[in-house]
């Protein structure tokens, strides 16, 4: 069981106390002034933010998210003094996240008391999720991203490979919460601070000073805030330059390439997109797509990946293409006894928050956030402000001197562009059919699915293994399969199904282990100076997985904070198949 425990609180207006640790979250008299003194001024952030150059990214780490006040104050300062084409990434660990309703109410009070924080406080209030173990990444602003590691701080840091320019140490006092200040944790903090980076904290406890010094941090005691006479400031020796690609070329204009384009441009990257077949020409070109979770009863990395992909996709489309997202609610139907047991295990593994999944009296699993997406329309909207290249070949990607990075997101054609992947990529043919007829109110799935669409519903999708280069088109055999599935899932009589209104078939890229490929690869076309990445193998869940994986690749390109844990990154790494072959040979 990995479920998180909520904090025990005593709240009196702006005075919020943890009764578990016997300490307050911030000074009720003027918590913002304390935050500014200890954390913002303690890391010289006003001057450092103002001195950023165009295109730069600044990364802040934190132990103790609490009410989010430190992050809100840092984000508000950043937006007020940093150049407009710079970006801030925040990372914060919290073992006992405040309940969603409690924090949302508090953020309303914060916005009222400190109007300068209102924009950020309202953004966090609108996005802050129920507590779920693992990482959650929230876009508070076009230029500000917040990643919260819910769970053990040690686990969070071990899971998140990033380098911070500044670090806030704001756990409860060492006397009441010693685990938050252990030598092991301070060593991890030091590892996550970039050379030349800084840290600050309210405490001057000797154990903390010694642990930081042993970890290679130069610390000094400086005047504290209010009744606290002293605080600590620290610096890691050395210098660090965060590299960033100025211009990225993306091959492929399906949902993977479109999600990449959207994320990269909002990270300040100039993007060029190329696809000889045109936008949304593959499986992403369906008029309707499904957003439902892939469930895993385990707590292995894949369970985190597909949970986070589903939840992240809902946030992504709601922000980027809100008119294309239709939350319908969905039911995963139970057809056999072992499915009921699996549903129960999923509900008990602790990865989902209460209310995410609901077991119904008839033993089906209800997903209130299940949604449909106008897929082809969403793709076109995501790339509406992207430069589209005219080239019909891919050589231009590596020949051009103004391209710093190339990302291949070309579906099954990855097998041709990345030789290393050829043994491990196949294709599947999927067909979707849709009908005019009795409207459906919710999504229903069980191997196939039916979903509300226009004046009727859609059903699909078939799954037929095919060659990477095979031409595919809709056919009567697949339509018959989808018709049978529609009757089975809807419970309609055959004469009530309605009139067929169209069908579409397309290929999907599939890996041998059925998980996506996302990450760097060795130079695709021999010797060149560019970094090369791939995003593919999304199978039938591209609409759900592409946004999260695109955010991960964007973090890799900008050297900031990924929404994926280290173990998930390893699970989807592009070289994983070759590594397995090498291990088998030895």
Residue-wise pLDDT for 300-314, tens only, equals 999 999 999 999 999
Predicted local confidence at residue 515, as pLDDT: 96
Question: Which parts of 256-404 are beta strand (E)?
Answer: 270-274, 289-291, 325-327, 330-332, 358-359, 365-367, 371-373, 387-388
Q: Please tell me the predicted confidence (pLDDT) of residue 524.
A: 56
Res 392: pLDDT = 58
Give the pLDDT band (50/70/90) at residue 458: very high
Q: CA distances (Å), 497 to each of 59, 287, 324, 435, 505, in order?
A: 55, 20, 25, 8, 21
Mean pLDDT for the stretch of residues 413-440: 87
| CA–CA separation, 401 and 396 (whole Å) | 10
Average pLDDT, the chain: 91
Query: Which of 58-72, 104-118, 255-269, 412-426 has the lowest average pLDDT?
Result: 412-426
Arithmetic mean of pLDDT, 482-503: 86
397 pLDDT tier (thresholds 50, 70, 90): low
Instruction: Tell me the two tokens of residue 384.
Output: 């509406």
- Specify the pLDDT at position 89: 98
Inter-CA distances, 441 with 326, 335, 450, 509, 511, Å: 11, 21, 10, 31, 34
Indicate the pTM of the whole model: 0.95
Please list, in sequence order, all residues whose beta carbon lies within 8 angstroms of the beta carbon of residue 492, skipping any fewer than 6 positions away.
438, 486
Instruction: Give me the helix-helix angle, 100-113 and 118-127, nearest 10°.
Output: 170
Q: Tell me the per-residue pLDDT of 22-58, one tens digit each, with 9 for 90 and over.
A: 777 787 878 999 999 999 999 999 999 999 999 999 9
Tokens representing 340?
A: 């009921």
Over residues 95-131, the pLDDT tens digits come to: 999 999 999 999 999 999 999 999 999 999 999 999 9
Q: Name the band, by pLDDT with cuts 50, 70 and 90, for residue 250.
A: very high
**DSSP-derived secondary structure for 187-241:** HHHHHHEEEEEEEEES---HHHHHHHHHTT-EEEEEE-STT--EEEEEE-SS---
What confidence tier does 535 reach under pLDDT thresholds 50, 70, 90? very high
What are residue 16's DSSP bridge partners?
11
Given a cut of 80, whether residue 453 has pLDDT beyond it is yes
Q: How confident is the model at residue 393 (pLDDT cuts 50, 70, 90)?
A: low
C-alpha to C-alpha distance for 73 and 38, rounded to whole angstroms = 12
pLDDT of the residue at 116: 97
């Amino acid at each position: 069981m990995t479920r998180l425990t909520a904090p025990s609180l005593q709240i009196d207006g702006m005075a919020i106390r943890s009764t578990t640790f016997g300490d307050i979250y911030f000074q009720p008299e003027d918590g913002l002034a304390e935050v500014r003194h200890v954390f913002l001024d303690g890391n010289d952030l006003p001057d450092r933010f103002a001195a950023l150059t165009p295109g730069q990214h600044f990364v802040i780490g934190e132990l103790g998210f609490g009410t989010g006040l430190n992050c809100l104050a840092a984000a508000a300062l950043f937006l007020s003094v940093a150049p407009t084409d710079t970006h801030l990434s925040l990372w914060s660990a919290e073992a006992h996240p405040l309940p969603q309703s409690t924090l949302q109410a508090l953020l309303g009070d914060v916005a009222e008391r400190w109007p300068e924080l209102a924009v950020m406080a309202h953004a966090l209030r609108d996005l802050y999720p129920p507590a779920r173990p693992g990482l959650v990444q929230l876009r508070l602003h076009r230029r500000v991203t917040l990643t919260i590691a819910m769970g053990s701080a040690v686990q969070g840091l071990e899971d998140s490979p990033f380098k911070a320019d500044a670090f806030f140490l704001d756990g409860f006092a060492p006397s009441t919460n010693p685990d938050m200040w252990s030598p092991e944790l301070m060593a991890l903090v030091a590892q996550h601070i970039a050379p030349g980076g800084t840290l600050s904290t309210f405490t001057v406890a000797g154990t903390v000073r010694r642990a930081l010094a042993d970890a290679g941090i130069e610390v000094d005691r400086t005047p504290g805030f209010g009744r606290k006479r002293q605080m600590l400031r620290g610096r890691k020796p050395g210098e660090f330059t965060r590299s960033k690609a100025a211009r990225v070329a993306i091959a492929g204009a399906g949902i993977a390439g479109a999600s990449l384009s959207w994320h990269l441009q909002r990270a300040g990257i100039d993007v060029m997109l190329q696809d000889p077949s045109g936008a949304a020409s593959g499986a992403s070109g369906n008029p309707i797509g499904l957003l439902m979770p892939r469930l895993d009863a385990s707590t292995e990395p894949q369970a985190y990946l597909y949970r986070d992909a589903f939840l992240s996709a809902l946030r992504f489309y709601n922000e980027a293409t809100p008119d294309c997202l239709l939350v319908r609610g969905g039911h995963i139907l139970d057809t056999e006894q072992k499915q009921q047991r699996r549903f129960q295990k999923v509900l008990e593994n602790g990865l989902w928050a209460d209310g995410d999944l609901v077991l119904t009296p008839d033993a089906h699993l209800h997903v209130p956030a299940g949604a449909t997406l106008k897929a082809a329309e969403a793709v076109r909207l995501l790339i509406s402000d992207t430069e589209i290249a005219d080239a019909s070949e891919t050589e231009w990607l590596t020949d051009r001197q103004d391209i710093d990075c190339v990302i291949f997101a070309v579906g099954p054609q990855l097998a041709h562009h990345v030789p290393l992947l050829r043994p491990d990529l196949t294709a599947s043919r999927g067909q979707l059919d849709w009908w005019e007829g009795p409207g459906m109110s919710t999504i229903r799935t069980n191997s196939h699915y039916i979903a509300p669409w226009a004046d009727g519903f859609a059903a699909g999708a078939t799954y037929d293994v095919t060659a990477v280069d095979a031409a595919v088109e809709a056919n009567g055999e697949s339509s018959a399969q989808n018709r049978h599935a529609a009757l089975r899932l809807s419970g309609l009589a055959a004469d009530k199904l309605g009139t067929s209104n169209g069908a579409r078939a397309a290929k999907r890229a599939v890996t041998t282990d059925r998980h996506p490929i996302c990450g760097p690869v060795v130079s695709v076309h021999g010797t060149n100076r560019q970094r090369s990445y791939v995003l593919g193998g999304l199978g039938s869940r591209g609409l759900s997985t592409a946004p999260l994986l695109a955010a991960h690749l964007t973090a890799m390109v900008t050297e900031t904070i990924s929404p994926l844990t280290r173990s998930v990154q390893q699970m989807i790494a592009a070289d994983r198949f070759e590594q397995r072959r090498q291990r088998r040979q030895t």
